Amino acid sequence: MHRRENALLEVDRQFRVHDVPPASDRRGRRLPRCRSTHRDAIGACVDPWITADRLAIALRISRRGLEARHHAYVSGDPHASVTGTPMPQPVLSTTRATLPITTLHEAVAAATRTPLEAIRRPGIARGLFVALAIDRGWRDTAILAELAGCSTRTIQRLVTEVDVAGLRAARLCAGDPRLIQRARPHQARRGISRAGDPRQSQYE
């Protein structure tokens, strides 16, 4: 392998953080998930601090296919798959709601590295949740307003303020369960049912 490519692997070996399930404290409360350079490099998070472009420039290696090469290295270990696991693929825009709203909710939490309840407060998570939901066929503004804890007018405004780069990251997380930050069953998610169907429990 080219020397600069080896340099990339060595840099990643020194600084990357494995995506492992968050630990819990003595009371069983989930601790915050650590940052992962892997998520940043493949484009699975909003406002990354390491990107494929930056890695390519800093290490003077080819930018083409760098996300896939980086993922192959990160996932290619005895604990996962020696040859590497498939590269995550994003969901596509659709007018038909085929994914549960809970999946989209969790994808936004993963992409923004925020708690699940963040969509019920003004901020990037709420805006991205609305954008991803609309993008994936959830077009009822009344339902989205109930889930996000805001007015339909706010939903309508957020629809016009889509963060394109953030939406790409959320699509990638929504397309691969490995990237989704799953909530524990006992964690309350006001406004959203575990089944993802708002009709099943008052949008729970």
Q: What is the DSSP string of 116-185?
A: GGGGGSSSHHHHHHHHHHHHTT---HHHHHHHHTS-HHHHHHHHTS--HHHHHHHHHHHT-GGGS-PPPT
Q: How many whole angstroms separate alpha carbon 19 and alpha carbon 38? A: 8
Which mean pLDDT values do the consecutive 10-residue runs of the chain (204 residues) have? 54 48 48 63 87 81 81 70 79 94 95 94 96 96 96 96 94 92 45 42 28
Q: Which of 46, 75, 104 is the last residue of a domain?
A: 75
Residue 36's pLDDT is 63
Q: Range of 8's domain?
A: 3-75
3 state DSSP class of 179: helix
173-199 burial, b at 16+ Cβ within 10 Å, e below that, comes to bbbbeebbbebeeeeebebbbeebebe
Looking at the fold, whether 16 and 51 belong to one and the same domain comes out as yes
Angle, in degrees to the nearest 10, between helices 152-159 and 141-148: 100
**In the prediction, which pLDDT does 12 show?**
55
**Encoded tokens for 5:** 């490519």
Residue 198 has a pLDDT of 39
- CATH number, domain containing residue 204: 1.10.1750.10
40 and 123 both lie in a single domain: no
Residue 60: inside a domain: yes
Looking at residue 8, its pLDDT comes to 55
Query: What is the number of structural domains in the chain?
Result: 2
